[in-house]
Amino acid sequence: MTTTPKGLTAIFQPRSIAVVGASSNPNKTGGRPVHMLIKHGFAGHIWPVNPNATEIQGLPAFATLDSLTGVPDLILVAVPGAGAVAVLEKAAEMGVPAAIVLSAGFAESGPEGLALQSRVTEIAAQSGMRIVGPNCLGAIGVRERAIGTFSIALEQEMPRVGGISIVSQSGNIGSAALRLLGESGAGLARFVATGNEADVQAADAIEWLADDDETRVILCCLETCRDAGRLTAALDRARAAGKPVIALKIGVSEAGQQAAMSHTGGLAGSDRVYDAVFARHGAVRVHSLEELAQVGAAAEAKGTRRIGSQPSVAVIAASGGFGVMMADAAAANGLAVNPLGEAARRRINTALPLASATNPIDATAQMSADPDILGELLDAVMEDEANSTLCLMLALSMEIPRLRSVFTAALAEVTRRHPDRTLVACVSGPADAVQELSNLGVVCFPTIDAAMAGIAALGRMEAIAQETRARLPEITPAELDADACRNEATARATLARTGLPFAQDITATTADEAARAAESMGSAMAMKILSPDIQHKSDIGGVELGVIGAEAARAAFDRIIAAAAEHAPKAAIDGVLISPMTSGGTELILGTTTDPTFGPVVMVGLGGIFAEIFEDTSLRLAPVSRAEAAEMLRELRAFPLLDGARGRAPADLEVLEQAIVDLSIFAARHADEVAEIDINPLLARPKGQGAIALDALIIPTVTPRQESAE
């Protein structure tokens, strides 16, 4: 019997916690949670379970779970392997709602461990008990002081109560993020490290946190995704609830992906596909642990202050050099540095006659002489509409008591007078000073680069909150034509029926048919071998271009067939494909591939002979909306070629967008049968002339049965 799984409330907000495998030694896995629950003042019941003790760390100990005085909300399991499974079976029998398996020795350790982990999954499914882990660092509910972890990050003190929650598959990375947040002065609501994810996945935690009143911002560290539907639904839930998700995906290199597989027993997906997933489902991606913590802390400090969905920055520094560096970093992160308005410039020059009132603003050391002068400078910029955000370089100022008092006094007044505007400071310490500024609503970053990257990330959050999601086409699965993947001619015919634009083509099986095709076309032709067994046609002499007239076509046909017989004697030959030569326009590549986790994705990029050289492509999950197709084209570095750069005729973008949409729908409709589609080149022609596809390949999915037969 399978029971509907319970929520995660008992994990984060338990009223009673049993520690199975509890130890009197606070340095052991089974001893540390007991020690920290006592030390940090958990108000609920703490029940140590150990058959070899009557007292543990001053608390009465119990020999077994069923000897407890009640049914705990949460059990922490610190006994290894088969012993842990036996504990979970007993807990399920008792009706315990949640468990955290801290111990290792499961899927990460080999076949025997994998079998044990499979049993853990069965227990969760059959009982409805939610199980975090195994091989995990556990969970924390900060306000409740509910400590279900042995993390050393809580050794000295509890995190400050705040609105940030952390979801991490890696315990140590999550623990490091927790520590970095503490150092920045940010507050924490929840923490969970999901480990091997026999039951509770990172996606489940995100979904629960989306409805959690304590959580305002969700930080997520992923090594892999075990269930695409659960993850995307959770991200959608968080977006709908107005909870920004900031995601760090690790395992992006080949070596990193191999490490992720051995560490978690999961498969790391294509990194660019994760970009597409996060973009579609409203998560903001960061690329380092430090950035994860910094942007998370900034999002909490910013609160409801606006930064703009396309932020621009007014930069203030006491040094011209710092101002230049800040402007450079802004540009590198796609942030505009707009000139100030005339009124703002006059106010700055009145307050600080020696200041440079351009943007970046070189305010000289005068700006820290008096809080009123600094306040006037900041007010002038905050009231100017030229830029959405003000970024102030504080350098070492907060470490000097006199300067600290000037800045905090001025910033307190300015943030009070402008409660809806975002003020960012570059400041690295001391910690209490950063905390003081954060409490005022100043968003703090330790470096210039971090500040500008952070402003860009906060802007993306605002854009996500404001955007109206494009309606995706509804897809009904359908069977693929039996011969669709056989050769280029069948692939072209199949794709043409979906609306994709292909040039006229004729299949010739004899030299005479080739001659008649030449007469009917009356123009220069391209002739290519047709075979299900030959993909790289030109490599074997299977392509002839610029063929004109019947006799030339007859001779070209004979040469192509002879070349195929010589270089691919075992290949099945279906004939020769003949189509008119086409020139002019920009060559693109359009195609799909199938990600093992997220399914079909569609790609467009600079094509022809440059496809593999420049690797200028844009990617989305299939199917895509018309708006997403337009975004894909505009993301290409080569987009100016399509948009009429240097006097070129603009391409027919509407036709290109529709081609992307049509191919994405086809890929989604035949997701179980098609592994890959390659249209290269797709010729983008001037507006009014449309586009034309010159080559096509459909690669079918190889089933496990087919693979084993090979």
Q: Quickly list DSSP for 137-160.
A: -EEEETTTTEEEE--GGGSS-PPP
Sheet of strand 98-101, all strands in order from the earlier edge strand to the far edge: 45-49, 16-20, 74-77, 98-101, 130-132
H or E element that contains 214: none
Cβ atoms 236, 282 nearer than 8 A: yes
Q: What is the pLDDT of residue 612?
A: 72
Q: What is the C-alpha to C-alpha distance for residues 510 and 550, in angstroms, rounded to an integer?
A: 12
Residue 704 has pLDDT above 50, yes or no: no
What is the SS3 assignment for 226?
A: coil
User: If pLDDT is split at 50, 70 and 90, which confidence band does 583 have?
Assistant: confident
Q: What is the pLDDT of residue 709?
A: 45
Question: Phi-psi region for residue 284, left (φ > 0), alpha (ψ -120 to 50) or beta?
Answer: beta
- For the chain, the first-to-last Cα distance in angstroms comes to 40
Over residues 198-221, mean pLDDT: 97
Over residues 252-260, mean pLDDT: 49
Cβ atoms 160, 179 nearer than 8 A: no
| Alpha helices, H only, 316-439 | 320-332, 342-351, 371-382, 401-417, 431-439
Give the other-Cβ count within 10 Å of 366's Cβ: 16
Q: What is the C-alpha to C-alpha distance for residues 629 and 381, in angstroms, rounded to an integer?
A: 38
Q: Tell me whether strands 691-693 and 525-530 are parallel, antiparallel or unpaired.
A: unpaired
Q: What is the pLDDT of residue 1?
A: 52
At position 466, the amino acid (one-letter code) is Q
Q: Choose among 560, 491, 571, 563: nearest CA to 531.
A: 571
Residue 70 bridge partners (DSSP)? none
User: If pLDDT is split at 50, 70 and 90, which confidence band does 218 have?
Assistant: very high
Q: What is the pLDDT of residues 642-667, one digit of tens each?
A: 998 877 889 999 999 999 999 999 99
Helices and strands counted in the chain (H then E): 24, 29
Supply the DSSP symbol for 479: P
Question: pTM of the predicted model, to two decimals?
Answer: 0.90
Q: What is the pLDDT of residue 706?
A: 47
Residue 260 has pLDDT above 60, yes or no: no
Question: Phi-psi region for residue 179, left (φ > 0), alpha (ψ -120 to 50) or beta?
Answer: alpha
Residue 608 has pLDDT above 80, yes or no: no
Q: Give whole-number Cα distances, 468 to 201, 240, 463, 475, 507, in Å.
A: 28, 11, 10, 21, 47
Q: How long a stretch of residues is the chain? A: 710
Quote the percentage of the chain above a pLDDT of 90: 79
Which domains, and CATH codes, for the chain?
1-157 (3.40.50.720), 159-250+263-303 (3.40.50.261), 304-466 (3.40.50.261), 507-580 (3.30.1490.20), 586-709 (3.30.470.20)
Q: What is the pLDDT of residue 665?
A: 96
Supply the DSSP symbol for 514: H
Q: What is the pLDDT of residues 281-302, one digit of tens each?
A: 999 999 999 999 999 999 999 9
Token pair of 486, please? 């056989």
Q: How far is CA 115 from the centre of its chain?
A: 31
Token pair of 667, please? 């890929």
At position 430, the amino acid (one-letter code) is P
Q: What is the pLDDT of residue 354?
A: 86
DSSP-assigned states of every residue in 104-128: --SGGG-HHHHHHHHHHHHHHHHH-
Residue 304 has pLDDT above 60, yes or no: yes
